[in-house]
Amino acid sequence: MSEIWKLGLVETARLIETREISPVEVVDHYLDRANALNPAVNCYVRIEDDSARAGAKVAEADIMAGRYKGAMHGIPYALKDIIDVAGLPTTNGSRLTLNEIAREDSAVVERLNATGAIMLGKAETQEFAIGGPDFSLPHRPARNPWDLDRFTGGSSSGSGAAVAAATVPLAIGTDTGGSVRTPSAYCGLAGMKPTYGRISRRGITQQAYSLETAGPMTWTVKDNAIALEALAGYDRLDPASADIAPQGWSMAVDMGVKGMKIGLVRNFHEQEPDGFSDEIVSAFEQAAKVLKDAGANIVEVELSPLRHYFAAQRVIMYGEAAAFHEDDFKNNLHLYGPFAIERFLPGFLLTAADYVQASRRRGELIRELSQAMRDVDLLLVVGAVGAAPLIEGIEPGSLLNGTLSANAPFNLTGSPAMIVPTGLNPDGLPLAVQVVGRHFDEFSVYRAAQVIETALSSRDARPSVAAGLEQH
Amino acid sequence: MPPDTISREEFAVLIDRAGLQLDEAQFEAMRRSYVHIRALTDILRVPRSRKTEGAHVFHAPMPSADKQSASADTSISKE
């Protein structure tokens, strides 16, 4: 079969289960694509040809022997290179850790291995999951498959590019302030930041321990739901892990939103008229109409200004990151790239009182959000600030120049939040909207996300770099 | 409102306190960005009662936990 890359996770899984295609065929197909496209897209820092092919043969043998494990069996995936795989370097995109070999698998990898999924490669990451597109580092920044002159967003930049280029049907990213969701928005993917505690952080390099979580990045919402089923679950070795059973999220996508009550959070973007592009606001309004037309009860919800959520998230992020990097900043500063230096340094200029004030504000804003969500099932919020910018124009200090993020509030509150594609702008670049749920209610998020995807985003439109390979 | 800028002398004190050694370009870049950092921390200061609960709750280890582990539980919980 020559077009496996167009199938996505769900259909590939069905064909593997029915033995119409073999995991060996699937993995060979994606390895060929990854090796062919990586020189242009820079989505991988290493591609594991041998181990992936060996894993595929094991999966094929198991399936032929009647030991089919489920929808992830034989499915290849990419892993952000801050997540440990035993025996491989976890470079964190940094000279500091370029040759540090992980001794054990992360919890994420343990879970995916148990499902029979196959790791195809380590995806490029911005330095320690915060640095920007830094051309001074050993690994060149990933390029956006929709336009190779444009930024993927970060910090799960390689993960986003790898899925958008269809070199893999699933990538695992991490999200501390939007690092799954921004690349998903810029690359036209479904990207889920689940509730804090849903996915174990064990074996993932810390950036800001109270904010970050791993999350799946996929071409479709349903692919994403299946991936989360594989990733989620309690881990007694992660102190933040929640002992709450995963739900059958893939069932949610067929349920629609009829009768659901969905709150539109307009004040986040209306109070920041220069912060979000007109086309992003238009995408938000289109999604609201789609949900209403599908039978949801739409209401207005006003939260505190976005700046309040953003400030608390940033101060906590900077403070926790500074504590993690303190020793290296004092002794090995020359090994960091300029983006990471400028983005970690603010944490060293905060006071203890600043961090405690941010934590107090966090508690207040969590209570505000929880109160608002007693009356609604979901919130609809703008996603990224605009379509993907040009990669060359991004400066190291750009994270500090007052630019806001509508993703950060939901790291602060720990809520599940998902980026859903809403189509392409006139330049052919993806646009998106964000759906936010109550804590541990990813199920409702997937219900609404599927409705939006079906109405607004043809999943047939692919980046030319991904489609072009097929014609060669 | 945050100040428009911070003097080189004042900023040098902050960098010294943090124990960092920056080159001139790093020093100036961060000095210019400092106004944005202060803008973030100023927003956090909202009026609160003196009776407002602290941000973190310290839980003393339970007696049974002491028996299981000689080390104190230093975890904090939010909310």
What are the backbone angles phi and psi of residue A20, rounded to the nearest 5°? -80, -25
How many angstroms separate the CA of residue A216 from the nearest CA in chain B?
Answer: 26
- pLDDT at position A132 is 84
Listed by start position, the domains of chain B span 1-47
pLDDT higher at A246 or A31: A31
Q: What is chain B's alpha carbon radius of gyration, rounded to the nearest angstrom?
A: 20
Structure confidence at residue A196 (pLDDT): 98
pLDDT digits (tens, 9 = 90+) for A16-46: 999 999 999 999 999 999 999 999 999 999 9
Q: Is A240 in the B-facing interface, judged by CB distances under 8 Å?
A: no
Point out the least confidently predicted range of A95-104, A132-141, A288-297, A438-447: A132-141
**What pLDDT, on a 0 to 100 scale, did the predictor assign at position B30?**
87
User: Pick from A47, A59, A110: which is nearest to A83 by CA?
Assistant: A110
Q: Is the pLDDT of residue A342 over 80?
A: yes
Q: Shortest Cα distance from A425 to chain B (angstroms)?
A: 32
Please give the average per-residue pLDDT across A166-179, as a whole number: 97
The answer to whether A358 faces chain B, any CB pair under 8 Å, is: yes
Whole-number percent of chain A with pLDDT over 90 = 91
Q: Do A361 and B48 touch (CB under 8 A)?
A: no
Is A436:A417 a contact under the CB 8 Å cutoff? yes
Q: Best mutation site among A326, A349, A395, A403 for testing chain B: the one with the most B CBs within 10 Å?
A: A349
Report yes or no: A280 and A421 within 8 Å, Cβ to Cβ. Answer: no
CB A77 within 8 A of CB A112: yes
- Range A203-222 average pLDDT: 97
* Phi, psi values for residue A171, rounded to 5°: -130, 150
Of the listed A22, A156, A159, A179, which one is catalytic? A179
Q: List the domain boundaries for chain A.
A: 11-471
Would you say the ipTM is above 0.90? no
Which of A330, A342, A357 is the closest to B45 by Cβ?
A357
> Model confidence at A448, in pLDDT bands (50, 70, 90)?
very high
Phi then psi dihedrals of residue A216, to 5 deg: -85, 145
Q: How far apart are CA A371 and CA A377, in angstroms?
A: 12
Distances (CA, A) of A350 to A54, A354, A400, B30, B36: 49, 6, 14, 13, 12
The answer to whether residue A289 neighbours chain B at the CB level (below 8 Å) is no
Highest mean pLDDT among A130-134, A198-202, B25-29: A198-202
Known catalytic residue at A155: yes
Cβ-based contacts of A319 with chain B (< 8 Å): none
CB pairs below 8 Å between A and B: how many? 89
pLDDT surpasses 60 at A133:
yes
pLDDT at position B4: 63
C-alpha radius of gyration, chain A, whole number: 21
Which two structure tokens, joined as six digits, stand for A330? 């004092």
Q: Is A330 left (phi over 0), alpha (psi -120 to 50) or beta?
A: alpha
Residue A432 to residue A189: CA distance in whole angstroms = 9
Q: How many Å apart are CA A152 and CA A164, to the nearest integer?
A: 10
Q: What is the pLDDT along chain B (79 residues), one digit of tens a residue?
A: 445 679 999 999 999 999 999 999 889 888 988 988 999 999 999 998 888 888 888 888 888 766 665 554 444 444 3
Kindly report the nearest CA distance between residue A101 and chain B, in angstroms. 28
- Token couple for A380: 């609809």
Question: Is residue A288 very low, low, confident or very high in pLDDT (cuts 50, 70, 90)?
Answer: very high
Which entry of A22, A80, A157, A415 is annotated as an active-site residue? A80
The CA distances from residue A156 to A76, A87, A147, A202, in Å, are: 18, 22, 17, 18
- Check pLDDT > 60 for residue A211: yes
Cross-chain residue pair A349–B30, CB shorter than 8 Å? yes
Q: Tell me the C-alpha distance between A449 and A124, whole Å.
A: 27
- pLDDT of A269 > 70? The answer is yes
> Catalytic: A415?
no
For the structural domain made of A11-471, what CATH number should be given?
3.90.1300.10
* Strand partners of residue B58: B76
